[in-house]
Amino acid sequence: MCRVAVPLQYCRVEIPGLQTFNLNRGISNSYVSYYGEGLDAGQCGFTLHGVKDQNNGEIKCTLGIISEAQESIGTMSLIVANAPKPPELELSRGTDQLNVYKVDDTLEASCTVRDGRPVANITWFLDDEPIDELPMPAILELAKEHLLTKVQNLTRKLRASDNGKFLRCVAYHPAYPGQVGESKRRLDIKYAPLPQRQTIEAYDYGIGKTGEINVTVEANPRPSFEWTVDGQRIREGSHDNTGIMEAEFARELGNGRYLAVLRIARIGKQDTEKVYILKAYNDQGSQEYRVKISTNSEPKGITKFFKQHVYGVYGYEFGADSIIAIVVAILFIILVISILIFAKITGRWCFSGQRDSRYIAESSDTESADVRPKEKKCRLPSIQLTSAFFRKKFDKSVPEQRDNQDQDEADADTIPAEELTNTDQVLTTVEKVNEKEVKDKNLVYAELDLVSPNSPNLKPVVKGNDDKTEYAEIVYTPSKEDEKEGKEEKNKK
């Protein structure tokens, strides 16, 4: 359809492979006919009957406008689809210069779709799995008839799992039957029997019943199989010397997979204690597989996890009892650690001394009191001695002039020196003083002079609240020697 916004005087159309046509509503033939609402509406359209390959190309419409001296020309491209040739697939040769490859060989493949119009689209598959991350394809255009050829390359490092699969080059084009064309090649990759990471364990065997030991092996070409039980070799298709065990011929499962079967006519308890060794070998190499059988049910849950992962990674083999013991031990360790953390936070048991020492350490930098070091060992609690807050002594001389009230309180609280025969008595006396002050709801700081208990002038002095100073907590535990000396001194008196 060619159109303008003003009436047309004439409409002329040039189509590749056909002659020029002057169209209007009254003119039509077997090749082309007018299409539109008329020249007065400014429309110059046409319908092409029976499109052929030679009609592909550029179409030109020439419009004559009454009010203009020059013609108006419009062009468009007519693409007549041409089905390309079937895809062509080419593969590089393997390491032995044949179309047989080995694991880790680099495969180079090329897919070519020739003489299509428009150009075809190409997709690579390995069986039904698309292969991505391919380089941009090369597109070649032929000068004759505007036909297009597309080429796309593929490079892939081969794996054992690629064996037996089809490498497919699939081309998409609207002129193909079903719009799809395909070319494929089956990959033949040689490799030795593949290993398994751990000993194979089979379960649910019954004593006195027939049992089969099955092992699936992946290899190419087909390997030969041989069982070894208690040092005796049993080739496939034969029996052992007792006639109880039979090695059947391996069954082919497809894609390089084979099933080897050892049949035991009657399973005894001694059979569950044996290790069954299967050896598979071909011209690429050999591999051994070890199998153990059990009358127990297959483990589940955490037991199965340990068998599959711990054994598979580190090579340690655990029975069900061992795995349960390990789990219980781990839970016990976690419980102990939790209890220790709780005790540390709350200051209980072995950590109770650490909390007390924190307060003891809060003393003035000018403190002259003697605090004995604490032991950090965890031990049973000893007899708790009296602790008190003692006032730092700035001057050992007591002022002669005091308030009457302070002097009366000091005189009333004065203890005869004869009662203070040892350090325990000194601390007890100070405790009594503090208890009296607590009852009066007043906090009193006491002063302690650590002098010899034999001093006849030993006399504590209590000061009032107005005379404030820094303080420290002193805890003193008499040693055995001190207790012994105290007893001797008491006996002398």
- Residues of the chain short of pLDDT 50, as ranges, are 309-317, 356-434, 436-445
Which pair of tokens denotes residue 350?
Answer: 């072995």
pTM of the model: 0.54
pLDDT at 29: 80
Which pair of tokens denotes residue 245?
Answer: 């065990």
pLDDT at 383: 39
Which pair of tokens denotes residue 373?
Answer: 């070091």
Q: What number of CA atoms fall less than 13 Å from residue 473's CA on the CB side? A: 12
Distance CA 421, CA 486 (A): 8
Residue 231 DSSP class:
T
pLDDT at 493: 53
pLDDT at 453: 52
Topology agreement, domain 2-78 and domain 88-190: yes
Q: Exposure string (b/e) for 269-295, b if CB count within 10 Å is 16 or more? A: eebeeeebebbbbbeeeebebebbbbe
pLDDT at 50: 85
pLDDT at 451: 52
Sequence-distant (≥ 6) Cβ neighbours of residue 470 within 8 angstroms: 363, 364, 366, 367, 392
pLDDT at 465: 55
Distance CA 93, CA 68 (A): 70
pLDDT at 30: 81
pLDDT at 376: 47
pLDDT at 389: 39
Residue pLDDT, tens place only, 16-68: 888 888 888 877 788 889 989 889 998 999 898 888 888 888 999 999 988 88
Instruction: Look at the chain and count its residues.
Output: 493
pLDDT at 320: 60
pLDDT at 129: 93
Architecture of the structural domain at 2-78: Sandwich (2.60)
- The CATH homologous superfamily for domain 88-190 is Immunoglobulins (2.60.40.10)
Domain 200-298 sits in CATH at: 2.60.40.10
Map out the domains of the chain as residue ranges. 2-78, 88-190, 200-298, 301-346, 359-492
Location of structure tokens 């020697």: 481
Residue pLDDT, tens place only, 413-426: 444 444 444 444 44
